[in-house]
Amino acid sequence: MRLAAALALVAAAAGAARGDPDPHRRVAVLEYRGGSAELEGIGARIAALLRKRTSLDVVDAETARASYAAIESDLSGCAGRADCVARIGGKVRAAEVLLVGVGEFGDVILTFQRIDVKSGRAVSRVAEALAAGAKPDDQQLAGWIERVLPPTDLDRFGVIRIAASETGANVAVGGTARGKTPLAPVQVAAPARYDIVVAKPGFVDFRASVAVPPDAEVVVRAELSRRGERPWYGRWWGVAILGAVAVGAIATTVVLTSGPDDDVPVHVNPF
Amino acid sequence: MSIDLVLPEDPALAPAGDRVAELTLVTREAGQPPRSETRAVDDPGSGLDMGVLAAGHEVDVAVELRSATQRLLGYGASPLPVAPDRDTVVRLEVRRPYVYASGAAGQLATFDSTLDPGDDGTFGSIPLAAPVASAATADGAELVIITTTGGIGAELHLVSTATHQPIEGAAVPIVGPVSDLAVTADGRTAVVARDGDSGGLTLVDLEAARRGEVSVEEVALGAVGAVAIVGEARAVALLARSHAFGCDDTLPASSLAVVELSAASADSSIDLGAPIADIAADGDAVYLADPCGGAIEELAVDPAGAPAPVFALEAATAVAVQGGRVWGAGTLPLSGSDGARVVLASSDREGRDMTTVSLPPTQERARSTDFEGDDQRVEIVIEADRLRPFELVALPGGDLVALLTEGYFHSEEWTDVFGDPVVSEIELTTFEYLLVQASSRAVVHRVRTFCDGTASSGATLANFECGEQADQHTLDDPDMYRPLQLSAIYGGR
């Protein structure tokens, strides 16, 4: 039995910088408390989410403590001052510190402050007021992270590499023509699912739908069948794959179209 | 959604410049806590991406410009909620948070809260004869100012906050001694409170005034001491307002008249059961400064309820609301050798998250004019016997409040061992403008606008003039005035 398409995951570098902060930069996630015991472990949760949602090289407090034993007392001495926190970030070789602050002013005040280590300045800050005892879920935390980080940090990428059995075949990824085989790896936004079509006259079109994880390369082995041969999707397992693909494609479409329409980007014009 | 910031062109009034280091976007959906996003401002000419908002969810939008030391340099806010979508353009008039005091003979006094007392332009003025009340429109673009024209005559004027110059239009005549002023959120109606037996409210159509026309309606209520706007279409007028130092339970109980602005008629009257010193409003709730009850209280007007304490505050005589926080000013009495002192308190509208700031005991100095010496002088330091904070404005940004206080200072006669008087008995009355930073408990501005006193004769040192404290800015005799009322751009009263 011959498999027409095989998927393989390998580590890949993706998301080239274009003047935006390096999406792979080292970011230390540190927690600063202004006398509040609320939101226990919030820093560790934020670090875990960043690892999951971005390509950043995340250093959490526990990791930082291993090489910098006095980090907590030094951080406390900084009292939230950006230049001081930046110096601590430098000691753990971070390019940036995401300072997660927890204070109480009646409500619990949760702040996220991005501090650039090189300049010692806060480049963005988000503050949220929460009711005492509130336990924000991961979705809420992710929403706040999206607000404090540059959008390019959340623009994660994957790579699709088409390994076709025939040269000169036209390749379309997600409905966009990408050229002819042999084709250089195609960088795409991830995580996402893409419809892939590899077509050449005299051959049955190869069609597949692949899920591309972030920071990964998906290799699609496209075996083109000459017309008249029984194509790969004519076999029972081919039909099963197509059914699964169709369901997946619909779900993907819903996510992609409803997301951007719900969020309105806000821009302050030059002043 | 894009936001256009409209700043004054005059650099003396514009909040932009090298000092602006951060921009914060503050959005608030009804019933939700405010959300803020801050970006460093490296180049104001390149604009800033400020995250995302949920499409179609109406929010109040405000922008704060701050210095590297977090001082608020400029503020702009939408007067009405905005429903974000991709094509929405929000225009915000961004201004320095100026405070304006009426009461001087020839000008409206201006106080720039972004500057310190030693800086040029911190204390200034807008030339206008005898202003008695002012209020900024909710979009921050205009100041509505009432001046007296002699006797019981008064006039309403419009002044641009971008230029501090009068706006072309009508000077609207008003009959009656004016005690207070408020402007509706849509900027269409000025509600002028009139004192005296034939007092009431005068409703001035500001759209007509901008066209150079005069359109006013009057509502007879009796002596109105203060006014506030409730919701979008009603005003509340405080009748029998207490002007006492703290509690005077011999005064008659105050009442509140609820006036439907579209009908220009009193809708209902609420007996408040005690002399009330000040009112403020936020949405449909009215807040009262109850000096005898020792509290800032909340009152529902539709349907009418009974006042309920928001927080306790001894001798509460002034109240203000801004950004969802309720502020009150009261007084702690003389205690031992310490004079009376002003206390500021604030909380959210439910009385939670309370902060209290006790200002240092207030002192004044009386300087002898009888004693001649090249390098010596005699000054008597007098602690305040009584204080009355009577106007309170909370500035945007949530940390600065401005207030006016009246003080009474008394010093007993001093005698020598033979019983002969050496220093005469002294009484002083002062009025001060204070700008207080709540977070640091610091008095940022302290300006004494008025000081007058008497000293009994017969003592060796019998003649005195007002001296000055080290932290106090004072006005010379010809410029002194008793301040009447405060307002601030985007400030809450």
Spatial separation of the C-alpha atoms in residues A84 and B485, rounded to whole Å: 44
Same domain assignment for residues A126 and A230? no
A149 and A241 assigned to the same domain: no
Residues 6+ apart with CB under 8 A from B282: B321, B324, B326, B349, B492
In a domain, A78, yes or no: yes
**Average per-residue pLDDT for chain B:** 92
Residues A79 and A168 occupy one common structural domain: no
Q: Which residues does B contribute to its contact with A (CB < 8 Å)?
A: 1-5, 7, 16, 22-25, 33-40, 44-55, 63, 84-86, 88, 94, 347-348, 352-354
pTM above 0.80, yes or no: no
Best of B43, B50, B57, B61 to disrupt the A interface (most A CBs within 10 Å) is B50
- Region A8-27: mean pLDDT is 55
Q: Do B38 and A124 touch (CB under 8 A)?
A: yes
Same-domain check for residues A68 and A84? yes
> What average pLDDT does the segment B313-337 reach?
94
Q: Do A106 and B49 lie within an 8 Å CB cutoff? A: no
- Give me the phi and psi of A24, to 5 degrees please: -105, 10
- pLDDT band at A221, cuts 50/70/90? confident
Q: What's the ipTM?
A: 0.83
Confidence band, pLDDT 50/70/90 cuts, at residue A255: very low
SS3 label, residue B333: coil
Residues A137 and A160 in one domain: no
SS3 at position B144:
strand
* Interface membership of A125 toward B (CB under 8 Å): yes
Same domain, A30 and A114: yes
Side-chain-side CA neighbours of A9 within 13 Å: the count stands at 8
Of A214-218, A257-261, B352-356, B478-482, which range is least confident?
Answer: A257-261
Task: Note whether residue A20 is domain-resident.
Answer: no
Decide if A53 is inside a domain.
yes
The CATH number given to whatever domain includes residue A187 is 2.60.40.1120
Residue B437: both structure tokens together: 């930073």
* Contact check, Cβ <8 Å, A262/B54: yes
Q: What confidence tier does B34 reach under pLDDT thresholds 50, 70, 90?
A: confident
At residue B346, the pLDDT reads 95
Domain span holding position A187: 155-259
- Inter-chain CB proximity B36 and A124 less than 8 Å: no
Q: Using CA atoms, how far apart are residues B221 and B36, in angstroms rounded to an integer?
A: 43
Phi and psi for A142 in degrees, rounded to 5? -65, -40
Cβ partners under 8 Å of residue B490, min gap 6: B75, B76, B77, B95, B97, B136, B140, B395, B396
Structural domain includes residue A268: no
Task: Report whether pLDDT(A18) > 50.
Answer: no
Of A218-232, B144-158, B171-185, which gets the smallest average pLDDT? A218-232
pLDDT at A252 over 60: no
- Is the distance from CB of A216 to CB of A11 less than 8 angstroms? yes
Cβ-proximal residues to A99 (8 Å cutoff; 6+ apart), any chain: A30, A31, A32, A80, A85, A111, A112, A113, A114, A115
CA atoms within 13 A on the CB side of A82: 19
* A264/B54 CB distance under 8 A: yes
Do residue B86 and residue A128 have CB atoms under 8 angstroms apart?
A: no
Taking the CA of residue A42 and the nearest CA in chain B, the distance in Å comes to 19
Q: What is the CATH number of the domain that holds A103?
A: 3.40.50
Please, what are the domains in chain B? 2-93 (2.60.40)
pLDDT in tens, B208-225: 999 999 999 999 999 999
Burial class (CB in 10 A: 0-12, 13-18, 19+), B457: exposed
Q: Residue B372: is its pLDDT beyond 50?
A: yes
Shared-domain flag, residues A116 and A211: no
Has residue B149 got a pLDDT over 90? Answer: no
pLDDT of B459 reads 85
| Average pLDDT along chain A | 76
Mark whether A64 and A165 lie in a shared domain: no
User: Are residues A206 and A253 located together in one domain of the fold?
Assistant: yes
What's the pLDDT at A19?
59
Checking if the pLDDT of A232 tops 60, the result is no
Q: Does A268 sit within 8 Å of B3, measured CB to CB?
A: yes
Q: Between residues A238 and B70, which one has the greater pLDDT?
A: B70
Give the C-alpha separation, B261 to B189, whole Å.
9
Backbone phi, psi, residue A53, to 5°? -100, -10
In the chain, the amino acid numbered B166 is P
Beta-carbon-side half-sphere exposure of residue B438 (alpha carbons within 13 Å): 23
Mean pLDDT, residues B433-439 = 93
Q: Does residue B25 carry a pLDDT above 70?
A: yes
Joined tokens for residue A17: 């910088």
> What mean pLDDT do residues A265-269 have?
91
Domain final residue pick, A154, A188, A212: A154
Are residues A131 and A75 part of one domain? Answer: yes
The two structure tokens encoding residue A190? 């991830």
What is the distance in angstroms between the Cα of A41 and the nearest Cα belonging to chain B? 23
Of A196-210, A221-235, A257-271, the range with the highest mean pLDDT is A196-210
Contact A265 B51 (CB under 8 A): yes
pLDDT tens per residue across span A84-121: 999 999 998 999 999 998 887 777 888 889 999 999 98
Percent of chain B at pLDDT above 70?
Answer: 99
Q: Is residue A17 included in any domain, yes or no? A: no
Query: What's the alpha-carbon Rg for chain B, to the nearest Å?
Result: 23
Structure tokens at B136: 């900024």
The domain boundary, picked from A154, A176, A207, lies at A154
Quick check: B47 and A268 CB within 8 A?
yes
Q: How far is CA B151 from CA A16, A228, B148, B155, B220, in A?
A: 76, 106, 8, 12, 20
In a domain, A222, yes or no: yes
Of the candidates A154, A183, A201, which is a domain's last residue? A154
Share of chain A above pLDDT 70, in %: 80
Query: How many domains does chain A fold into?
Result: 2
Verify that A119 and A173 share a domain, yes or no. no
**Helical H runs in B132-262?**
206-210
Closest CA–CA distance from residue A63 to any residue of chain B (Å): 29
Asked if the model's pLDDT at residue A189 lies above 50, the reply is: yes
- Nearest CA to B369 among B437, B285, B467? B467
Torsion angles phi and psi, residue A171, rounded to 5 = -115, 130
Q: Is residue A264 part of a domain?
A: no
* Domain-embedded: residue A183: yes
The alpha carbon of B421 is separated from its chain's Cα centroid by a whole number of angstroms, namely 43
User: How much is the pLDDT for A225?
Assistant: 78
A143, A225: one domain: no
From CA B121, how far away is CA B118, in angstroms rounded?
9
> Which positions in chain B touch A104 (Cβ < 8 Å)?
none
**A 144-183 residues with CB below 8 A of B?**
146-148, 151
What is the chain A residue with the closest CA to B352?
A106
